[in-house]
């Protein structure tokens, strides 16, 4: 093994140690890019994530640059950008990652004199994403072995971490994962120039707004009392699967606890958001459930705003849900509509609820 690669090993082992001490999947993804970029001698690396249908849903770009301070000292500055709107994905990236998915192995493509390289990211034996970088020379055999090893450690640890963030019954993300999503979404809301953008993460069109909904199965206690908890668990699982299939691949869905779920979606307007939630409500209403036959859900939702704390947004959606149940259940209520109708009073920051 060349001395240059031997010199990398202590640093690599240290980085892997730090990577496996992380307890957040998003930070773990960033750590992967921070680990491999310097080891490969490149300033830019990217992680592309796909859904179960092999559609690109998210990109994390990592960039390093040298900055010279006023005193003449130079230092490396890092920047991480997450992109959710992939309409402007470069054609060469699409072609390269398609080849990786079809062949199930790393592929290289010549781009303007450089080599663009993509490695598959595996989960449960399936390709669930791609590690991509570009430089002026190809990957050596030693580097290839190093990249494969780091990606294997990452994938195995990510699977364990992801399992701890999922509800055992439904397979949906749990309340702990919801709190992590709050951190990421509120950071994105506070930096609209880097949300849902194109051309290196810069916004070329107004970014989508986020909406949070509380979803509750109507009269669920009656199901448990009449049919027993095993049937109740079956209903929870079926409702979770129905919602997963009805929501869009970019939407986030969590089991909040008991018969309550939380969904976070992006939509340009409140009307579009309500249509998304109405589609979910109608899908459940139209489904024939074994033994129980019919189930409905009530939904309350609110816009997520960087000026309002996540706990208050959750509280507003919950209040809207409770009002929907008061008014007869099986309906979707928007917090802003209830404020406009005078049913709710818009709270000041001093009135925000904390729990």
Minimum mean pLDDT range among 20-29, 121-130, 160-169: 20-29
Structure tokens at 245: 């299939």
Residue 250 scores a pLDDT above 90: no
- Per residue in 45-101, pLDDT (tens digit) is 999 998 877 888 889 999 998 887 777 788 888 898 888 667 778 899 999 999 999
Domains and CATH numbers, the chain: 3-164 (3.30.450.40), 175-351 (3.30.70.270)
The proportion of the chain whose per-residue pLDDT surpasses 70, expressed as a percent, equals: 85
Q: DSSP characters for 230-256? A: HHHHHHHHHHHHHHHHHS-TT-EEEEE
Among candidate residues 239, 255, 246, the one with its CA nearest the CA of residue 296 = 239
Predicted local confidence at residue 14, as pLDDT: 63
Residues 81, 82, 234, 259: which is the catalytic one?
Answer: 259
- Per residue in 217-231, pLDDT (tens digit) is 999 999 999 999 999
Distance CA 64, CA 176 (A): 31
Q: Own/partner pairs for 58-62, CB < 8 Å, 24+ apart?
A: 58/82, 58/83, 58/84, 58/86, 59/83, 59/86, 59/89, 60/29, 60/30, 60/33, 61/200, 61/201, 62/30, 62/33, 62/34, 62/37
Maximum mean pLDDT: which of 38-52, 193-207, 244-258, 270-284: 270-284
pLDDT band at 208 (very low <50, low <70, confident <90, very high): low
Predicted local confidence at residue 312, as pLDDT: 93
Residue 3 scores a pLDDT above 60: no
pLDDT averaged over the chain?
85
pLDDT band at 191 (very low <50, low <70, confident <90, very high): low
351 is catalytic: no
Predicted local confidence at residue 179, as pLDDT: 86
The stretch 164-179 carries a mean pLDDT of: 92
Minimum mean pLDDT range among 251-255, 257-261, 320-324, 346-350: 346-350
Predicted local confidence at residue 247, as pLDDT: 94
Stated as kind and residue range, the H or E segment containing 75 is strand 74-83
Residue 105 scores a pLDDT above 90: yes
pTM (predicted TM-score) = 0.72
């Amino acid at each position: 093994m060349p001395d240059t690669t031997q010199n990398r090993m202590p640093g690599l082992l240290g980085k892997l140690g730090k990577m496996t001490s992380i307890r957040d999947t998003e930070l773990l993804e960033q750590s992967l890019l921070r680990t491999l970029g310097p080891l490969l001698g490149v300033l830019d690396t990217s992680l592309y994530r796909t859904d179960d249908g092999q559609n690109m849903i998210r990109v994390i770009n990592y960039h390093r640059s040298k900055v010279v301070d006023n005193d003449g000292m130079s230092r490396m500055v890092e920047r991480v950008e997450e992109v959710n709107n992939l309409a402007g994905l470069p054609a060469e990236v699409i072609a390269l990652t398609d080849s990786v998915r079809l062949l199930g192995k790393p592929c290289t493509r010549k781009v303007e004199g450089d080599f663009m390289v993509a490695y598959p990211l595996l989960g449960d034996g399936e390709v669930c994403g791609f590690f991509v970088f570009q430089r002026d020379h190809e990957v050596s055999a030693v580097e290839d072995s190093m990249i494969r090893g780091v990606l294997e450690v990452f994938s195995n640890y990510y699977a364990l971490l992801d399992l701890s963030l999922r509800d055992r019954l439904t397979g949906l993300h749990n309340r702990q994962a919801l709190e992590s999503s709050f951190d990421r979404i509120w950071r994105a809301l506070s930096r609209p120039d880097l949300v849902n953008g194109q051309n290196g993460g810069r916004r070329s069109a107004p970014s989508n707004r986020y909406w949070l909904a509380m979803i509750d199965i109507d009269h669920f206690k009656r199901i448990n009392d009449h049919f027993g908890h095993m049937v109740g668990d079956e209903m929870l699982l079926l409702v979770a699967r129905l919602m997963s299939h009805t929501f869009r691949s970019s939407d986030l869905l969590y089991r909040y606890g008991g018969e309550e779920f939380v969904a976070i979606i992006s939509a340009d307007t409140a009307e579009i958001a309500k249509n998304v939630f109405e589609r979910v409500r109608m899908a459940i209403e139209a489904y024939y459930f074994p033994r129980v036959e019919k189930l409905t859900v009530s939904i309350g939702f609110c816009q997520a705003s960087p000026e309002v704390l996540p706990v208050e947004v959750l509280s507003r959606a919950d209040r809207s849900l409770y009002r929907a149940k008061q008014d007869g259940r099986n309906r979707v209520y928007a917090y802003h509509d209830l404020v406009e109708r005078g049913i709710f009073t818009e709270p000041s920051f001093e009135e925000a609820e904390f729990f």
